[in-house]
Amino acid sequence: MISADGSTKTTESGFIVTQTIGQVSITGSSNDIIQGFQQPYWNVLISNSELVENIKINHYPNPVIDYLNFSFLNYITGSADLLIFDFSGRIILHENVKIEEGIAKVSLRSLPLGTFLVYLKNDKINYYTKIIKKWKYFYE
Domains of the chain listed by start with CATH number: 7-37 (no CATH), 51-133 (2.60.40.3080)
E strand or H helix at 72, and its extent? strand 67-73
Taking only the tens place, the pLDDT of each residue in 24-40 is: 444 444 555 444 445 56
pLDDT at 20 > cutoff 90: no
Separation of CA 51 from chain center:
17
The alpha carbon of residue 139 and the mean position of all alpha carbons in its chain are separated, in whole angstroms, by 30
Residues 15-23, mean pLDDT to the nearest whole number: 59
The conformation of residue 82, written as its DSSP 8-state character, comes to: E
Residue range 94-123: average pLDDT? 94
- At 93, the amino acid letter reads L
Do 79 and 98 touch, CB atoms closer than 8 A? yes
Sheet holding 7-10, edge to edge: 7-10, 16-19, 32-35, 26-29
| Alpha-helix runs per DSSP H in the chain | 39-47
Percent of the chain residues topping a pLDDT of 90:
48
Mean pLDDT to the nearest integer, 75-95: 91
Residues above pLDDT 70, as percent of the chain: 74
Q: Pick the residue with more confidence: 76 or 70?
A: 70
**Cα separation of 47 and 22, whole Å?**
22
The sign one gets for the Cα dihedral 69, 71, 76, 82 is: negative
